[in-house]
Amino acid sequence: MRSDGLREYIEQLAERNEVKKVTVSCNPELEMCEIAHRMFSAGSDQVLLFTDTGTEYPVAMNLYASEKRLLASMHAKSFEELQQRISSLFDTITQPKKGFSAKWHTLSSLYSLAKLLPRAISGKAPCQERIERSPDLTKLPILKSWPHDGGRFITLPMVITKDIETGKRNVGMYRMQVLDAQTTAMHWHIHKTGARHFAGYKARNERMPVAVALGGDPLLAYCATTPLPDGIDEFLFAGFLREREVTMVKGVTIPLEVPAEADIIIEGYIDPAEAPFWEGPFGDHTGFYSLEDWYPKFHITCITSRHDAVYPATIVGIPPMEDSIIARATERIFEPIIKKALIPELKDLYLPTEGVAHNLALVHGAHPYAGSGEKIANALWSAGQLMFTKYILRLPDSCAFTDQNNILRLLAEVKIQDLFFSRGPEDVLDHASEEVGFGSKLFIDTYYDTPSDAPVRWTDHASHTLGGRSLWVGEKLLLQIVEDYEPFQKNDAQKLLTQCAAEVGAIPRFILLVNSYAPMLHPSLLLWYVLANTAPARDIWIANDGDDFSAIIDARAKIGGAYLRPWPNVVASSKETIELVDRRWREYALGIEMPESPSLLYRKMLINYDSATANPWKDIMAQTEKEQ
């Protein structure tokens, strides 16, 4: 679909009944996000367009809620089609060609690619139809998503920077907290290219020009999220995917080019001599608040826009949400490059939604030699952003990634020698890692096992002292969930196993220690909770040696004691926001019966209702009783 600005894109979607307009007044602070969250959770993939925002700009949300729509923007009907295009391009560039016809084909392919390079235009561009040299961010309908967010955040920015040494452009997506009318924070992690560019300017003690683009073809912002190798232009990649170049124009107050088709451009600079800002917290894609930290200030010199500009926004939180569609698309699109260029032994890769892109990877891949699994794991832990992966599970090729019962049957056969612990970089947003940005990892190898056909079933033991639920594979007790608030020591393991055998009737392969709400969770939410709340080396204890080993997994909140980092709360809407949207649902005229707020379930998981961080242990039960 060809578009000229976000409004035209939305109008084209509206012709196909893919847009819901909310014409009554809605508050960008909390209310819009609660509506968007309910619509996505109810299965709607329509774009939401809020027309009465308290500003002159409409707000578009759920732009990426449809996989089909994202594929259409890439001129593809399936991810397999895209994979073939990318594989063909990769082969053209990397494999030597013999014979005149083959070399001619290579030249033709490279010429076609060259025509998709970003193209600079002169004069005034659509994104510069209006120029505000006395910029004021309060005129934009910038959203606040969750009740304990540090403020309003720009959530779909294309942040454009250049390497001070090479002049190569990078387009990243880093959330931006509004500090005042002309200043935001710039939340780029230490591993990101934008942070590296900033370090170059800091070394020279020079101001760093920065441009932030909002809107235009939604594919542009998608490409800003992709894990391209350093030095590969995201706007070139966008041109390749949509088969049409991105036109660029010089900024008004900075020496950077910006996409001419964008709806809004925010120009400015970051001064490395200036003290950073204590930014956050923010309800993040992990499903928890990412907590405060020091990030640089971005000073705005100019805001330009189209005369009919639309402000784009998204909301992230406990999966699945809109960003799950984006993550799945990225995984599928980049799989051929990962396999061909980085990990030839890898056959297939799957990143479950519950792993929020970096907590769990399922893989197929085998070679007939000892250590092949560990080699794949180490390769993944060295491959771009896959280095952040916390847990890796290798499955037999015959076991589908989505076959949950067979995966559970394989885990029931796991032996000690199938567990491989390691350490390495972690995503800065991983709140459970031993250190910020660094921690333990675990590879589990089930490749050489054959799943049984034993039935998989859950049983409840609420009347027992242990409480919780049991997961059985045939007659084997695979998992016993135990509610526990007391500090747990390794020498308590045998006592716990004995108690479990007495009350449940079997010794489990795994005992899972959780806070009181976790046993009530759907298995998908339970998996997300365990992956997010554990550091493998610290929180998994082997209780028995040998093939019939048992392990204790501590997935509880770590508050106080030896754990010195603040522990974040899950993200959930406030009762006031839920009740507001309940009252107003008919006014929104969205065409569906009012869905229940997902936050009603998530609020049961809160440890503290008053802030982004958890309370000490002694207050947990009091807080739970307060909500009930």
Q: Give whole-number Cα distances, 182 to 265, 311, 601, in Å.
A: 13, 18, 38
> What is the DSSP track for 293-351?
EEE-EEEEEEEEE-TT--EE-----SSSSHHHHHHHHHHHHHHHHIIIII-TT--EEE-
284 catalytic residue (yes or no):
yes
Q: List pLDDT tens digits, range 412-470.
A: 999 999 999 999 999 999 999 999 999 999 999 999 888 889 999 998 866 567 767 89
Q: What is the pLDDT of residue 4?
A: 77
**DSSP string covering 172-189, please?**
E---EEEEETTEEE----
Measured CA to CA in angstroms, residue 545 lies from 132, 409, 447, 550 at distances of 69, 20, 21, 8
pLDDT in tens, 116-173: 889 999 888 999 999 999 999 999 999 999 999 999 999 999 999 999 999 999 999 9
Phi and psi at residue 426, to the nearest 5°: -120, 155
DSSP secondary structure code for residue 48 in this structure: E
pLDDT of residue 106: 46
Token pair recorded at residue 300: 């705005």
Q: How do residues 349-402 score in pLDDT, each as one tens digit?
A: 999 999 999 999 999 987 778 888 999 999 999 888 889 999 999 999 999 999
Is 90 exceeded by the pLDDT of residue 626?
A: no
Per-position DSSP letters for 399-435, written without gaps between them: S-TT-HHHHHHHHTT--GGGEEEEEEE--TT-TTSSB
Residue pLDDT, tens place only, 193-231? 999 999 999 999 999 999 999 999 999 999 999 988 777
Q: Give the position of tokens 């290219």.
A: 193
The one-letter amino acid code at 279 reads E
Is pLDDT above 70 for 31?
A: yes
pTM of the full structure:
0.92
Say whether 248 sits in a helix, a strand or coil. strand
The fraction of the chain above a pLDDT of 70, given in percent, is: 90
What is d(CA 498, CA 512) in angstroms, rounded to the nearest whole number? 15
Q: Phi/psi at 284 (nearest 5 deg)?
A: -105, 180
Per-residue DSSP letter, 29: B
Q: What average pLDDT does the structure give for the chain?
A: 89
Per-residue pLDDT band for 2 (boundaries 50, 70, 90) equals very low
Residue 32 has what pLDDT? Answer: 98
Name the token pair of 150.
């540090």
Among residues 149, 284, 445, 539, the one annotated as catalytic is 284
Q: Whole-angstrom Cα distance, residue 142 to residue 151?
A: 10
Provide the sign of the torsion angle of the four alpha carbons 113, 117, 122, 123, taken in this order: positive
